Amino acid sequence: MSRRRVAVLGAGIMGCAVAIHLARRGFDVTVYDREPAPMAAASRWNEGKIHLGYIYGADPTLATARHLLTGGLQFEDRLRELLGEDLDGHVTADDDIYLVHRRSVVGPETLRAKFEAVSDLVREHPDADRYLVDVSDARTAEIDPDELGTLAGDDIVAGFRVPERSVETRWVADRLAVVIASEPGVTLRLDTTVLGVEPADGERDAWRVRTDGDDERVNVVVNALWGGRLAIDAGAGLVPQPPWTHRFRQCVFIRTRTACVAPSALVAVGPFGDVKNYNGRDFYLSWYPAGLVAESSELELAAPELPSGPEAEAFVGRVRAALEPLMPGIGRVFDEAESTVVHGGFVYARGAGALDDPRSGLHRRDRYGVERTGTYFSVDTGKYSTAPWLARELAAGIAG
Ligand SMILES: Cc1cc2nc3c(=O)[nH]c(=O)nc-3n(C[C@H](O)[C@H](O)[C@H](O)COP(=O)(O)OP(=O)(O)OC[C@H]3O[C@@H](n4cnc5c(N)ncnc54)[C@H](O)[C@@H]3O)c2cc1C
């Protein structure tokens, strides 16, 4: 093997980004995915919040915010590097609104202090002016009771505006899929399931990637399989350390016939839901208890079948019924739907428990990143928002 050959497992945002960086550094890269196209799983069907850390209001420390911040602030720069174009026109226009539910696992006083502490962290960060909007003067603004009364239902006890933005993940997915397909140095092996990775006999730093097609020998493996990652790690000798949780979350993507006025709002903190308004016509809507369709602490969770027909309609009805009392007026988005898609993806997290338990490990996300054994690297992406940054760091590390 004269040129260094790399197998990247998984063509989500992490796998695609690592593969592009490694190919541009001269490696021969093969990317494997069981889907027929890149960026077809969680990295396509998520909300696209580019986290600054506010959402983990129940982490008693600032560790999650600190862990998320650099990747979030650099998201646009790192993505521009990959795509060769800006995100202009594909980013939410307004600050996100956090609505505090009366059954929130953290009360409004604690959240106010937490949000202010996160805003301090954001302002102090050297990359604060590189976010999707300049956040070098980030502030948390509490919504006054009169305005809150017009925005939210009786179960909402406080509201805050924070300067977080989201991106249209389907646009990003389409662009990244085009870039990786035309990247010299990257070979895509789609419709191919990875079955295992083992040390190749008799060679140092050589691995055999077993698939349902041909096997391949490589020098370096990057496991970016997200939901499918741990089972392959275990076979490669990287034993997963519990606790962890795999969840499959379903949500609703609506395009409306006409523009609708609705804020991007999230009900905090616990098993609630949110609405994302990307551009007045494209919306993401979720209700956690309805959308959590499968959960497991086994090595892998089988992908549940997505609903269609009346089952999908019933799911959309459940999301609407839960959101409407909390965000009066949101029904218009459903009434105006020109197209409605029910989709979703896996969420992997190191931690366990239920979101209505303040002690649950799922309320923090401060331990994701890369583990390795020799030249086998396993990436817990943690968040979409940090993936392009983390991918670049990993590729630089592999290239030495
Ligand atoms: C409903 C929802 C909302 C979310 N909202 C946000 C948000 O607002 N902000 C945020 O930062 N994050 C969010 N996330 C999390 C985010 O989507 C993920 O962290 C991120 O997309 C993971 O990227 P990835 O490349 O690691 O995984 P993926 O995009 O899932 O890519 C992994 C790939 O591996 C493939 N694969 C798996 N197993 C195998 C196998 N054995 N053989 C071959 N291929 C295999 C899959 O087909 C997939 O294409 C959300 C997730 C969900 C589900």
Indicate which residue's Cα is closest to atom 33 of ligand 1: 10
Q: Which ligand 1 atom is at minimum distance from the Cα of 51? A: 11
292 and 322 together in one domain: yes
Say whether both 280 and 232 belong to one domain.
no
Identify whether 152 is part of a domain. Answer: no
**What's the gap in Å between 225 CA and the centre of ligand 1?**
8
- Ligand 1 midpoint to CA 294 (Å): 15
What whole-number distance in Å separates Cα of residue 57 and Cα of residue 272?
14
Kindly state the DSSP code that residue 361 receives in the 8-state scheme. G
Contact 220, 209 (CB under 8 A): no
Which residue minimizes the CA distance to atom 30 of ligand 1? 42
Domain range holding 292?
245-349
Q: Are residues 335 and 373 in the same domain?
A: no
Q: Taking 80 as the threshold, does the pLDDT of residue 203 lie above it?
A: no
Q: According to the model, what pLDDT value does residue 188 have?
A: 98
From 20, 50, 226, mutation site for ligand 1 pocket: most ligand atoms within 8 A of C-beta: 226
Q: Taken in order 160, 346, 72, 167, is the CA torsion positive or negative? A: negative
What angle (nearest 5°) sits at the alpha carbon of residue 249, between those of residues 243 and 250? 175
Question: Is 209 part of a structural domain of the chain?
Answer: yes
Length of the chain: 400
- Is 52 among the domain residues? no
Same domain? For 226 and 258 the reply is no
Question: 270-326: per-residue pLDDT in tens?
Answer: 999 999 999 999 999 999 999 999 999 999 999 999 999 999 999 999 999 999 999
Q: What distance in angstroms lies between residue 244's CA and the mean position of ligand 1's atoms?
A: 16
On whether residue 354 sits in a domain, the answer given is no
Residue 294 maps to a domain: yes
Q: How far is the CA of 272 from the centre of ligand 1 (A)?
A: 21
Same domain, 387 and 373: yes
Mean pLDDT of 55-84: 96
178 and 35 housed in the same domain: yes
Assess whether 265 and 300 both reside in one domain.
yes
**Does position 16 have pLDDT exceeding 80, yes or no?**
yes
Number of folded domains in the chain? 2
Same domain, yes or no, for 279 and 345?
Answer: yes
pTM of the predicted protein model: 0.98
320 lies in the same domain as 266: yes
Check whether residue 260 and residue 336 sit in a common domain. yes
27 occurs within a structural domain: yes
Q: Examine the domain organization and report whether 332 and 372 are in the same domain.
A: no
Give yes or no: residues 235 and 250 share one domain. Answer: no
Kindly state whether residue 117 falls inside one of the protein's structural domains.
no
Q: Per residue in 142-160, pLDDT tens?
A: 999 999 999 999 999 999 9
Provide the mean pLDDT of the chain: 96
Whole-angstrom Cα distance, residue 289 to residue 297?
Answer: 18
Confidence band for 232, pLDDT divided at 50, 70 and 90: very high
- The single residue listed with the structure tokens 């959309």 is 316
The tokens for 163 are 């300067």
Atom of ligand 1 nearest to the CA of 195: 41
Give the residue whose CA is nearest to atom 4 of ligand 1.
46
- Residue ranges around ligand 1 (CB below 6 Å): 10-15, 32-35, 40-43, 46-49, 51, 193-194, 224-228, 249, 251, 344-347, 381, 383-385, 387
Instruction: Tell me: pLDDT of 2 over 60.
Output: no
Pocket test for ligand 1, best of 232, 346, 383 (most atoms within 8 A of CB): 383
Q: What is the pLDDT of residues 211-222, one digit of tens each?
A: 999 999 999 999
At 370 the pLDDT is: 98
Question: Which CATH number is 196's domain given?
Answer: 3.50.50.60
The whole-number pLDDT of residue 202 equals 72
**How many angstroms separate the CA atoms of 292 and 349, rounded?**
14
Residue 395 CA, ligand 1 centroid: distance in Å: 19
Q: Is the pLDDT of residue 1 over 80?
A: no
**CA 13 to ligand 1 center in whole angstroms:** 8
The reported pLDDT for the residue numbered 205 is 87
* Mean pLDDT score, 244-258: 98
Alpha helices in the chain (DSSP H): 13-24, 63-73, 75-83, 108-124, 145-151, 169-181, 229-236, 288-291, 309-323, 331-335, 387-399
pLDDT tens track for 347-369:
999 999 999 999 999 999 999 99
Q: Are 291 and 248 in contact (CB under 8 A)?
A: no
Atom number in ligand 1 closest to CA 211: 42
Q: Within a domain: residue 106?
A: no
* Residue owning the nearest CA to atom 31 of ligand 1: 12
Take residue 393 and report the two structure tokens written for it: 């760091």
What is the band of 3 on the pLDDT scale with cuts at 50, 70, 90? low
- Pairing outcome for strands 369-373 and 376-380: antiparallel
CA distance to 54, 71, 294, 337, per residue, from 93 (Å)? 18, 20, 33, 21
Does the pLDDT of residue 110 top 70, yes or no? yes
Give 291's contacts (C-beta < 8 A, 6+ positions apart): 249, 250, 251, 273, 319, 344
| pLDDT, average across residues 52-62 | 94
